[in-house]
Amino acid sequence: MTNEILKLNPREIWRYFYDLTQIPRPSGKEAAVIAYIKKFGADLGLETKVDEVGNVIIRKPATPGMENRKGIILQGHLDMVPQANSDTPHNFETDPIRPRVDGEWVKATGTTLGADNGIGVATTMAILAAKNLKHGPLEALMTIDEETGMTGAFNLKAGMIQGDIFINLDTEDEGEVYVGCAGGTNANISLPIERESAPTGDKALKITVSGLKGGHSGVDINLERGNSNKILFRLLYELTHQYGVRIAMVDGGNLRNAVPREAIAIILVKDQDLHNIKTKTAEFGKIILNELSSADPGVKVQLQDTEKPASVMEMDSASRLIKAVYGCPNGVIRMSTDMIGLVETSTNLAIVKSEENQVFIKCLLRSSVDSAREDLKNMFASVFTLAGADIVFDGEYPGWKPNMDSSILKAAREVYQNLYGKIPEIKAIHAGLECGILGGVYPNWDMLSIGPTIRFPHSPDEKVNIATVQKFWDFLVKILEEVPVK
């Protein structure tokens, strides 16, 4: 498998990408990859710095005759989303990713691949290492913790970067040039619950929602895939209303920026209701499968016996929780009226996890319109404060407003048309690129974002199209040659 990856073209990129797959680098655990990139820059004899939070900056002088060009910044992020299938044992802090070639795609074995944003980082490394490319002054900015907090972008200080043109390498459709992105904010909800001893005689059952595809909570939100938390609480709503089942625990989702694929609950039921509850759950599973037959045909809702817990949620606490989560906004809220096909506003009910006396709920709210994001925050506050929960919004980051008069955009359009005989699509993305945050610190930057075709990032189905990596490379290399003079 290793040799398959290393034989792909352009070999400069795949060599470094393979190296990155062998370095565990989940968000917040990037020490090893920071050290690797730092050594890479130093071994090339290039000026290399690591800032206070771990962002790596590498500078490469202009090639002879190109010294008068505007400085280019190539940017990607070092971390990756750690997601594995339930039947794939994998420790993302110690185990390497196992990439493989599958027809036209490179995939991982049972886990996320890390092409988001390993391909962007590998491409930057290949350009820094190349001896035969033409370019003006280059800087590489490789940030940390993009996926969970954009910590690197938020903490990059003014004056660290010298260039004028910023090219982000973290979008996922070859043939498209991105000039804008959504802003976002985190919703952190804490609902106090009361507990009481489990009723004697009741039987314990475990509900499992599984088999969903999940995906990136921004890029894939328009695919209308199932959200395991919403499915689970829809069923809990019906079972508590019809049969008075008691709730002992709930646990769904594990990453704020990934559509949750699995969720479980432990419930207690009366013996006389057991048959009806099993029948009801089986019927509910068929209903969900029918509703998601195109978007998520692998969805399963299963019921099995389990060990009886010592306590359950007090009935009022359980009722408030179920109603709040069931009523929580989720998915696409509004499509853009300015750019056809673009999601304007969305939310992802990412995590619902009960502990002894609290239930914690985490969501990610996105919008390219600031006022719409504020409206969505008010919706959340309305729903959850009615349930008696505390809600805190944090991690807010701005969107990136398109500049259609951009000089680097004009150059990129001409380059792409000359290479491939057509004009690339100019788009905005419903995801939180670092461009908005970084552009706030460096307002002089002229920015765009490009990348190869990557599908299903943030899920174990993540894959990168091999042919588009070559096209992406050729496009970027040619852009570097055509950068305007200062």
Condensed to tens digits (0 to 9), the pLDDT of residues 58-78 reads 999 999 999 999 999 999 999
Q: Quote the pLDDT of residue 432.
A: 83
Q: What is the mean pLDDT of the chain?
A: 96
Q: Which of 397, 415, 432 is the last residue of a domain?
A: 397
Q: Quote the pLDDT of residue 149.
A: 86
Q: Quote the pLDDT of residue 281.
A: 98
- Tell me the CA distances in angstroms from 444 to 55, 101, 387, one per residue in order: 21, 41, 46
Q: Quote the pLDDT of residue 433.
A: 87
Nearest-angstrom CA–CA distance, 235 and 237: 5
- Domain co-membership, 14 together with 158: yes
Burial annotation 90-124 (CB, 10 A radius, 16+ → b, else e): bebeeeebbbeeeeebbbbbbbbbbbbbbbbbbbb
- Domain co-membership, 272 together with 420: no
176 is catalytic: no
> Is residue 178 pLDDT above 60, yes or no?
yes
> Is residue 412 pLDDT above 70, yes or no?
yes
- Domain co-membership, 234 together with 308: yes
Q: Quote the pLDDT of residue 15.
A: 96
* Residue 136 pLDDT level (bands cut at 50, 70, 90): very high
Distance from the Cα of residue 14 to its chain's centroid:
22
Nearest-angstrom CA–CA distance, 163 and 333: 38
Q: Which of 397, 421, 448 is the last residue of a domain?
A: 397
Q: Quote the pLDDT of residue 2.
A: 53
* Global confidence as pTM: 0.77
Counted domains in the chain: 2
- Domain co-membership, 228 together with 87: no
> Is residue 43 pLDDT above 70, yes or no?
yes
- Domain co-membership, 385 together with 403: no
Arithmetic mean of pLDDT, 190-206 = 96
Arithmetic mean of pLDDT, 300-314 = 97
79 is catalytic: yes
* Per-residue pLDDT tens over the stretch 420-439: 999 999 999 898 889 989 99
Q: Quote the pLDDT of residue 402.
A: 87
**Furthest-apart CA pair in the chain: how many Å?**
85
Q: Which of 362, 397, 432 is the last residue of a domain?
A: 397
Q: Quote the pLDDT of residue 1.
A: 46
Active-site annotation holder among 116, 139, 145, 146: 146
- Domain co-membership, 393 together with 403: no
Domain contains 486:
no
- Domain co-membership, 357 together with 247: yes
Give me the CATH number covering residue 139. Answer: 3.40.630.10
- Domain co-membership, 133 together with 259: no
- Domain co-membership, 96 together with 231: no
List the domain range (segments joined by +) for residue 351. Answer: 185-397
- Tell me the CA distances in angstroms from 258 to 242, 409, 417, 444, one per residue in order: 32, 30, 35, 33
Q: Quote the pLDDT of residue 401.
A: 84
Active-site annotation holder among 30, 79, 174, 434: 79
Domain contains 201:
yes
